[in-house]
Chain A
Amino acid sequence: MNTRGQDALSMTEDRQLVSRALKGDRKAYEMIVRKYEQPLTSYLGRMTGEREAALDFAQEVFLKAYCSLASYRPAFKFSTWLFKIASNHIIDHWRKKKLPTVSLDQPVDDEEGCLMPQVADPGPSVARKFELAEIREKIERALASVPAALRELFVLRHVNEFSYEEIADIKGLPVGTVKNRVFQAKELLRKRMEGS
């Protein structure tokens, strides 16, 4: 998520905390919760669009992770493992609620037609119209209208700062597919903002 040195340090720290938690040290697990509560809630918040629901989901994800802590393999990053649980939890929730899903094998439809990632389309200079804060606000609003499967990858990449390889690991997708979908999400956001 950050630089390589910080990553290695964080991984070692996580392994030690997990090892202590497995021995019954609840304080160690509380430290894990404190470390990941904000990134996890930020991810779940953007996926559900509701703060309260995000907090409830985060609590359930931490509970699930705690119950299956013994199955965590220290060879992998704890953050990747935790977000894999969170992603599956969200998918289960949507399946239960039977929310419509969008096939991503086809290009994503926009109001103005098909979003073709290959076509170079500089378009009007939308970004210059707004200051950065305004743009962020617009992104947050437009994000809700982006298909969940694209939104999730965008959030993992830009809010949670996972590398493309880590996202591929979390979602079980090829790295090329992840890159393409994150790009599609960004272009879709740009077009939605342009239309607003």
Chain B
Amino acid sequence: MTSCSRPEDLYLYLEGELGPYDARKLEEHVECCPSCREALEERRLLHEAFTSLPPFEVPADFARSVMDSLPEPETRTAGWLAPLFAAVTALTVGLVGFHLFTGLSVFEVLVAVNRFFGTAIAQAAPLAAKTLKVGGVLLNVAGDLLAMGFAGLSAFSRVLGPQGVALVVGLGGLLSLLAFFGARRFLHQGERS
């Protein structure tokens, strides 16, 4: 006969949480162990009571009172909608104001506005295109130069090895310092003479 079941296994068995092998073992044991059979029956009744505890009563108007206590919703409007709406409103007000002020018809005003923007765009477009083209070429050149620089540096470090690179960097630093102090001294002597 297998050893007596642990009380936690009895609960897990009743909840269907015990694996099939352990569940079978427990069933076999309970068959021939009166003490465990009694313990299982007791837990079964308790388990039934645990799982059928009544829910709390909620007043019918509870959801309504929750909704009344909520702040106004923060609706997710697109960020560009408000400025667009403002721009359209300003344009409409401007057109109507211009019409009232000058007596010109809205249609004439629209034609004039259209002509003004058309001319502006016609002048600005080639300039913008040229700027973009020159910018692109400059970016390409800068990219190529950087790539060449990196390739040169990596080839240099491959040839010299890490110690060689450290030596060159150290020598370079030393020469720079010498050049710097030498230039200062030379300038001071120039001032004195």
Contact = CB atoms under 8 A, between A and B. Distances in A.
A164 B12 CA distance: 11
A162 interface: no
Interface string B8-36: 10011000010000000000000000011
Interface in A122-158: 122-123, 125-128, 132, 135-136, 139-140, 154, 158
B124 to A, nearest CB: 40
A187 interface: yes
Contacts of A66: 70-71
B67 A22 contact: no
A42 B56 CA distance: 5
A34 B49 contact: no
What interface size band does chain A fall in? 35 or more
Contacts, number: 128
Interface in A30-58: 30, 33-34, 37-39, 41-42, 45, 51, 54-55, 58
A88 interface: no
Main secondary structure of the interface of A (DSSP, over half): helix
B55 A159 contact: yes
Given A33-B66, A34-B63, A42-B56, A132 B45 contact: yes
B6 A120 contact: yes
B67 A121 contact: no
A120 B5 contact: yes
Task: Bin the interface of chain B by size.
Answer: 35 or more
Nearest to B40: A122
A118 B7 CA distance: 7
A45 B56 CA distance: 7
A78 interface: no
Given A30-B67, A128-B42, A117 B7 contact: yes
A126 B11 CA distance: 16
Contacts of B59: 55
B62 A29 contact: no
8 contacts: A24-B76, A30-B64, A33-B62, A34-B63, A122-B7, A123-B39, A128-B41, A159-B55
4 tightest A-B contacts by CB? A122-B39, A24-B75, A127-B45, A135-B49
Interface of A: 21-24, 26, 29-30, 33-34, 37-39, 41-42, 45, 51, 54-55, 58-59, 62-63, 66-67, 117-123, 125-128, 132, 135-136, 139-140, 154, 158-159, 161, 164, 179-180, 182-183, 186-187, 189-190
Given A29-B70, A38-B58, A132-B49, 9 more contacts: A33-B67, A41-B58, A58-B58, A117-B6, A122-B36, A125-B42, A127-B46, A132-B48, A179-B17
